[in-house]
């Protein structure tokens, strides 16, 4: 315990990839937010899914990031429909293995956008493949700039999200066409948009496992309170209450 408190907790951050350019990529906002919270970002390329366990052994916490792709519907028991978007099967397979292993050992986890959706799926939950087609809900894919808050989130009283960001509604950015449909095993919905779309989930049975549908790393310069999500993760990674 003393060793964890005395050094920066190592926070794994999953990477996206531009396959055409054959390069990994990541928004700098993730790294800046983790550093500001006192963590040490460790970037996790997904070229070899067999090394997920080796990465996990290095880490004190994990951020599963978002990206412009969809989780394969087969992972939650559905066939792909036309409105479902592009997939990155290699990345998703790696993140799924990493996330399942992290949850199994209660490693602190923060899922962002698609990372939140995957957190729900690995717990047996389902997704709307497309909010407009499946639920008749528009307005969750805002045009650029993507960092500007565009809609409110209503917070579930007594949740970890409420402890971190406060119980009052706040505004977030929105850049997704999929969302949580059915909650997975042990998943608490801790935030919703005014139209009912799930915006945050958490696993109360674990020390720290939280997912948010928005991008706090991008919106926090409009709302500095969002830094508390990363601070909570880092504190949990230190072995301290978050």
List residues with catalytic annotation. Answer: 113, 215, 217
Residue bearing tokens 């923060």:
110
Whether a cis peptide bond, with omega within 30° of 0, leads into 145 is yes
Going from the C-alpha of 188 to that of each of 14, 92, 160, 200, 225, the distances in angstroms are: 24, 23, 10, 9, 22
For 211, the 3-state DSSP assignment is strand
Query: CB neighbours (10 Å) of residue 199?
Result: 28
Contact 225, 169 (CB under 8 A): no
DSSP states of 11-76 as a string? Answer: EEEE-EEETTTTEEE--HHHHHHHHHTT-EEEEE--S-GGGHHHHHHH-SEEEE---SSB--GGGG
Alpha helices in the chain (DSSP H): 2-6, 28-36, 52-58, 89-104, 114-122, 131-135, 160-165, 216-219, 227-237
Are the C-beta atoms of 121 and 163 separated by less than 8 Å? no
Contact assessment for residue 44 and residue 53, using Cβ atoms and an 8 Å cutoff = no
């Amino acid at each position: 315990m003393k060793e964890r408190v005395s050094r920066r907790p190592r926070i794994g951050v999953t990477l996206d990839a531009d396959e055409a350019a054959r390069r990994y990529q990541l928004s700098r906002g993730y790294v800046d937010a983790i550093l500001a919270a006192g963590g040490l970002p460790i970037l996790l390329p997904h070229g070899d899914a067999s090394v997920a366990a080796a990465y996990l052994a290095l880490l004190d916490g994990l951020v599963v990031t978002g990206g412009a792709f969809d989780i394969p519907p087969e992972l939650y028991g559905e066939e792909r429909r036309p409105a479902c978007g592009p997939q990155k099967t290699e990345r998703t397979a790696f993140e799924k293995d990493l996330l399942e292993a992290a949850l199994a050992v209660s490693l602190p986890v923060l899922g962002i956008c698609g990372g939140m959706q995957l957190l729900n799926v690995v717990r047996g939950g389902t997704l709307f493949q497309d909010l407009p087609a499946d639920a008749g809900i528009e307005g969750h894919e805002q045009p650029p700039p993507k960092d500007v808050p565009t809609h409110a989130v209503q917070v579930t009283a007594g949740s970890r999200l409420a402890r971190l960001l406060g119980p009052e509604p706040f505004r977030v950015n929105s850049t997704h066409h999929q969302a949580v449909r059915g909650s997975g095993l042990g998943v608490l919905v801790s935030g919703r948009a005014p139209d009912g779309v799930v915006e945050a989930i958490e696993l109360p049975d674990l020390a720290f496992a939280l997912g948010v549908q928005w991008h706090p790393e991008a919106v926090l310069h409009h709302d500095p309170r969002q830094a508390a999500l990363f601070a909570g993760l880092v504190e949990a990674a230190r072995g301290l209450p978050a």
